Structure 1
């Protein structure tokens, strides 16, 4: 791994990160086409599946437009923190990159768990979960503030002394790994892999609406985080995908803004300011249960 830092300057590694992201997207498109052919053979390729997949990539495009606007500020915050507040100087080598990937994966676990546990975070993350399908295109289904929350969970890595471009490289590695998990083509992998790493089977559980699967398997690369912190569940029965309430739309604009439109509607109809605060800080499960109580 030291070869990486010997061959590339920091600016060139920024370019390497973009190159990895771009080429992996091309590979992902190829894998998605293979998945589509599989659905055709199984006679499961429907109009809704096609529309949902198109919506997934359109939300990606809208997300990229937002990121393009905030990218300089986002990177600037990391660089400023690293330059002025880091507590140590970590060497730029293979071991520091590997260590950064592991810590970034742990940070992703807690970020991911946070997004499921409060209404404001869930309003953007629900976009990713709202598809009733599960394939590689779903990995690119983004909400409008998906860029915002990683800042708070990954910025501590800059304080620890990891250079921002290493942090961003680690984030890309985690995201690339995550993308490959969105498939029903792969059932279960050998037990040693299933025991340590996140797999398609584990991630199908995370996207499930089955009661026993709710709020489980937040991991990025290593499923050991879920086992350590009590959020692991094994895939033992068929998974039903989606969210409550069901979105029932393949309109990209509705998909992209659905979470915050739902949250704003709930805030508008809330009976008290205390209830509004709870909608922001309590879990989406609480909000749904309260709505069911009001309907009775």
Structure 2
């Protein structure tokens, strides 16, 4: 217990974040090679699948470029400014880091749900959902503004008193955990795991465009959030991956920008200023007078 409560330096947390993130990326590439071998054995490997995987990593490069150029300094600067207003002075130790990871996971659930249910946020998140395949490379398929929304949702953790480095580390842990969920190799795990934590089975549901799977299983690490808030669905029927309205392209520029193109087109074609606002702030597929979208894309 003394070790768990011993102070940890910011420098060590920064090093640990980079170390885990970098080495997990290497692992993901090795695992992708294994998945490709599996596709080949089952005679499912084709140039479209390979091209889609390449597109996934190109969108990652676009995402990293935009993040560093436009949001990196703003993101960190906002966190450290908010940290000056912190309500509590929370020490950095393994116990507080673990608490922050759990809170960041709960925060991610609501951030993720927001990105699915508000069209201007969905415009960037739809990139992640647009692949008709499901392998570990899809985990690295990012949209132009995917690094913006976590800032607003995780900022309260900084104001609460968690060090910005700890919050960034917690965000990274939640994201890294989800990476391995993007696979068809692992089927269902033992029931205790399926009941508590997010699994590849649960996340396959989340990526389905099947009607019964839409807007389900938003969880990062713990599937209990979906069970608590009524958004859980079990994998039963075969999952059809991708969007309700597919992009039908492996062009990385189409994949990266299609969400904002579709949003702009829908706003332009919608009559009436109030209805245009409905398109921007309503759920995907919003129409005037519709209580619920009938064509909501899903991750």
TM > 0.5 fold call: yes
Per the alignment, residue 82 of structure 2 pairs with 81
CA distance in structure 2 between the aligned counterparts of 1:289 and 1:2, rounded to whole angstroms: 59
Say if 1:157 and 1:167, in contact at 8 Å, map to a contact too: yes
Closer, same or farther in 2 for the Cα pair 1:64/1:288, shift >3 Å?
Answer: farther
Residue 204 of structure 2 corresponds to residue 204 of structure 1: yes
Say if 1:59 and 1:252, in contact at 8 Å, map to a contact too: yes
- How far is 1:12 from its partner? 3.3
Say if 1:209 and 1:243, in contact at 8 Å, map to a contact too: yes
- How far is 1:117 from its partner? 0.5
Per the alignment, residue 240 of structure 1 pairs with 240
- How far is 1:8 from its partner? 5.5
CA distance in structure 1 between the aligned counterparts of 2:28 and 2:246, rounded to whole angstroms: 27
Q: Secondary structure at the match of 2:147?
A: coil
Per the alignment, residue 138 of structure 2 pairs with 138
- How far is 1:183 from its partner? 0.3
Alignment RMSD, CA only? 2.0
Name stretches of at least 5 consecutive residues in structure 2 with no aligned partner: none
Hey, which of these two has a bigger chunk of helix by percent? 1
Say if 2:113 and 2:218, in contact at 8 Å, map to a contact too: yes
Say if 2:21 and 2:172, in contact at 8 Å, map to a contact too: yes
Per the alignment, residue 92 of structure 2 pairs with 92
Q: Secondary structure at the match of 1:244?
A: coil
Say if 1:2 and 1:94, in contact at 8 Å, map to a contact too: no
Per the alignment, residue 193 of structure 2 pairs with 193
Count of matched residue positions in the alignment of Structure 1 and Structure 2: 292
- How far is 1:140 from its partner? 0.3
CA distance in structure 2 between the aligned counterparts of 1:125 and 1:109, rounded to whole angstroms: 14
Per the alignment, residue 270 of structure 1 pairs with 270
Name stretches of at least 5 consecutive residues in structure 1 with no aligned partner: none
User: Residue deviations 1:89-119, cap 9 Å, x none?
Assistant: 1121111000000000000000000001011
Per the alignment, residue 228 of structure 2 pairs with 228
